[in-house]
Amino acid sequence: MKKDIRLEDLSKREKEPLVHLEKKDLMPLPYPFEDPEQEPSFAELSEQIREKYECGLDDTCAVNVPKPGTKEEEDALVAKFLSGLEKLFTKENNWTFLQPLLLSMEHCAKCQTCSEACHIYEASGKNELYRPTFRSEVMRRLYFKHVKHGGLLSAWQHGDIEINWPLIARLIELSYRCNLCRRCAQTCPIGADNGLVAHELRKIFSQEMGIAAKELHETGSMLQLKVGSSTGMNAVVVKDNIEFIDEDMEEKIGIKVETPWDVEGADVLLIHNAGEILAWPENPGAFAVILNAAGIKWTLSSEVAGYDSINYGVWYDDAQFARVAVKHAEAAKKLGVKKIVLGECGHAHKALTVIADRVLTGDLNIPRESSMTLIRDIVMNDRIKLDPGRNDFPVTLHDPCNMVRLMGVVEPQREVIRKICPQFREMTPHGVDNYCCGGGSGFAIMSGNNFPDWRFQVAGRKKMEQILNAFSDCMDPSIPKYLCAPCSNCKGQFRDLLAYYDMWNKHKINYGGLVELIVNAMVDVKPGFIEWEWH
């Protein structure tokens, strides 16, 4: 049952979580889920987890922050948080986002225009805890009280809140209940950005307190910087895997496929999200087929991080973000390539092309481009022969937030799909007004405890509704359907989301990237590149 949550509740020393979600409270889904009871059930957190970790926010636990053992430990954590909060508002520590953060802190009118734009808030049945301004308002009150050192007058004007460890522990979790898709910011009349506030909170926790989601930090950016990829693949392993993919592709499509490595002076350094190589090998394979067929002089790099475009730092830590971006640029510099092209990975697009644009200077500022434009030019200039008839099945397109709303790459992928997919249909809304897949900001790779339940039933719910609506005229399982997601993280979310709702077995909804559709339509390769089986 929904209960009224207030800002001050975050400071409560209650063992029970503040919010408990029930199926009937969530936003209804269309056919075939009109009856909420048909949906999978939310697994409960074990008593052991609740005892060990801070799980006082809602039904799940994303970060696994250990409970402090003593009052002294609690006080030390509070002091550390306050020290991080203060640093966040200094140019030496946070020049990267100081101006946007200050403006968002000082000018929100609390008009709640942003709330209706938030897929998490809507999907949760408009639960107050997930309102975009809820987390921001807590942060704002802390800012005026502890950074601006406001007294009674400030509390009267801006509101007050008591700081203690329970509040901080809940804020840590709450900063991981936002996909950072910034759809809310798009609607704000003033330009305040609640997505940014969640991002900056994560930064305090990581950069000052050393607290971050394990999947993003320890087995994410740290592993990537150590061995070269967050998948754990070093250069030898990744080359082996690509060789295997080339062989597999050759067998499948009937023409020789060779992926070039470390070619000095190549026109294009292609950087994939290395997750593709392990989870969806047909994607890097398809890239190789297309680029070779189009006569592009391209290469992969075996340098550390040079073969893995992921940059999880963009979601939680500026230092980690900058380190990975520098590694990507150094790989390109070493080979002397003309440009870096990002494979199908939304956050890698945004991170390296847009955000790192103000980190990479001098000879590290190597031109960077989306694969969507390169692929579009190949397809639209007829550099490869295509038969749209091979893609004559219903196709819809998911817009990765990082590539579309946050970078403005909207049309190239559509031009391609319109040309090669006769049954293409848009989702509503789409383009820069799209909804996040629910896996954004790292959620797609976060699978601890029962977090996936929350990720699918709440964060991914709105996208699920969009997918069901896009295919509402062809839900019959005899018709195979293709959800095109040119983003590795989004695909990770769709793989799990569609499986969670059993969409393949019951309705034959499959998913994949853009380049797979292109190779499937290439007349020079054996038909049937897209295999209609679950993967």
Partner 1 sequence: MNILLYVISYFSLLVFLIACVVRAFSYARTPIHLRWELYPVPHEEPKRVGYGGSYYEEAEWWNRPSPRNFLGELKSMAAEILFLKALWEFNRKLWYRSFPFHFGLYILIFTVFIILLYGSLSLIFPDLMTGNVGAGLQFLYQVTGAAGIALSIWGALGLLALRMTDSRMKIYTTPGDIFNLLFFIIAFGTLAAGCLAGVGPSSGMLAFSRGLLSFDTGFETSGLLATGLILTGLLVAYIPLTHMSHFIAKYFTYHNIRWDDAANRRGSKIEAKLAECLAFRPTWSATHIGADGKKTWADIASSIPAQEPKK
Q: Please list, in sequence order, all residues whose beta carbon lies within 8 angstroms of the beta carbon of residue 213, skipping any fewer than 6 positions away.
A: 62, 63, 176, 316, 442, 446
- Whole-number minimum distance, CB 13 to partner 1, in Å? 21
User: Angle, to 10 degrees, between the axis of helix 132-142 and the axis of helix 165-174?
Assistant: 140
User: By CB under 8 A, which span of 36-44, 240-248, 364-372, 438-446 interacts with partner 1?
Assistant: 364-372
Binding residues for partner 1 restricted to 80-99, rule: CB under 8 A: 80, 83-84, 87, 91-93, 95-99
Q: Are 320 and 280 within 8 A, CB to CB?
A: no
User: By CB under 8 A, which span of 65-73, 165-173, 250-258, 368-376 interacts with partner 1?
Assistant: 368-376
Burial class (CB in 10 A: 0-12, 13-18, 19+), 354: middle
Q: Does the footprint of partner 1 cover residue 505 (CB under 8 A)?
A: no
Residues 452, 95: Cα–Cα separation, whole Å: 34
Return the number of other C-beta atoms located less than 10 Å from residue 191's C-beta. Answer: 12
Phi/psi at 95 (nearest 5 deg)? -60, -25
Q: Does the footprint of partner 1 cover residue 323 (CB under 8 A)?
A: yes
- The one among 27, 279, 326, 479 contacting partner 1 by CB under 8 A: 326
Nearer to partner 1 by C-beta: 159 or 260?
159
Q: Does the footprint of partner 1 cover residue 185 (CB under 8 A)?
A: yes
Nearer to partner 1 by C-beta: 474 or 487?
487
Residues 248, 215: Cα–Cα separation, whole Å: 30
**Is 339 strand, coil or helix?**
strand
Binding residues for partner 1 restricted to 427-466, rule: CB under 8 A: 431-432
- Whole-number minimum distance, CB 125 to partner 1, in Å? 14
Nearer to partner 1 by C-beta: 404 or 497?
404
Q: Does the footprint of partner 1 cover residue 535 (CB under 8 A)?
A: no
- Whole-number minimum distance, CB 242 to partner 1, in Å? 24
Q: Are 345 and 314 within 8 A, CB to CB?
A: no
Nearer to partner 1 by C-beta: 166 or 412?
412
Binding residues for partner 1 restricted to 472-491, rule: CB under 8 A: none
Q: What's the CA dihedral at 127, 130, 131, 134 to 10 degrees?
A: 120
Nearer to partner 1 by C-beta: 364 or 479?
364
- Whole-number minimum distance, CB 501 to partner 1, in Å? 30
Give the residue from 127, 123, 129, 116 showing the smallest Cα distance to 26: 123
Q: Are 484 and 396 within 8 A, CB to CB?
A: yes
- The one among 355, 416, 417, 421 contacting partner 1 by CB under 8 A: 355
User: By CB under 8 A, which span of 112-120, 164-172, 255-263, 440-448 interacts with partner 1?
Assistant: 112-120
User: By CB under 8 A, which span of 11-19, 52-60, 323-331, 478-486 interacts with partner 1?
Assistant: 323-331
Binding residues for partner 1 restricted to 218-257, rule: CB under 8 A: 222-223, 225-226
User: By CB under 8 A, which span of 69-77, 399-407, 482-490, 499-507 interacts with partner 1?
Assistant: 399-407
- Whole-number minimum distance, CB 472 to partner 1, in Å? 24
Q: Does the footprint of partner 1 cover residue 178 (CB under 8 A)?
A: no
Q: Does the footprint of partner 1 cover residue 7 (CB under 8 A)?
A: yes
Return the number of other C-beta atoms located less than 10 Å from residue 293's C-beta. Answer: 19
Q: Does the footprint of partner 1 cover residue 358 (CB under 8 A)?
A: yes
Return the number of other C-beta atoms located less than 10 Å from residue 33's C-beta. Answer: 17
Return the number of other C-beta atoms located less than 10 Å from residue 345's C-beta. Answer: 32
Distance of CA 229 to the CA centre of its chain: 17
Q: Does the footprint of partner 1 cover residue 190 (CB under 8 A)?
A: yes
- Whole-number minimum distance, CB 264 to partner 1, in Å? 20
- The one among 319, 385, 418, 499 contacting partner 1 by CB under 8 A: 319
Residues 445, 492: Cα–Cα separation, whole Å: 7
What is the size of the binding site for partner 1 (CB under 8 A)? 92
| Backbone conformation region of residue 182, classed left if phi is above 0, alpha if psi is from -120 to 50, else beta | left
Nearer to partner 1 by C-beta: 348 or 464?
348
Q: How is residue 181 annotated by DSSP?
A: -
Q: Does the footprint of partner 1 cover residue 23 (CB under 8 A)?
A: no
Nearer to partner 1 by C-beta: 4 or 533?
4
Q: Residue type at 107?
A: H
Phi/psi at 398 (nearest 5 deg)? -95, 135
Binding residues for partner 1 restricted to 125-164, rule: CB under 8 A: 128, 131, 133, 137, 156-159
Exposure class string for 455-470: b at 16+ Cβ within 10 A, else e: bbbbbbbbbbbbbbbb
- Whole-number minimum distance, CB 148 to partner 1, in Å? 12
- Whole-number minimum distance, CB 379 to partner 1, in Å? 12
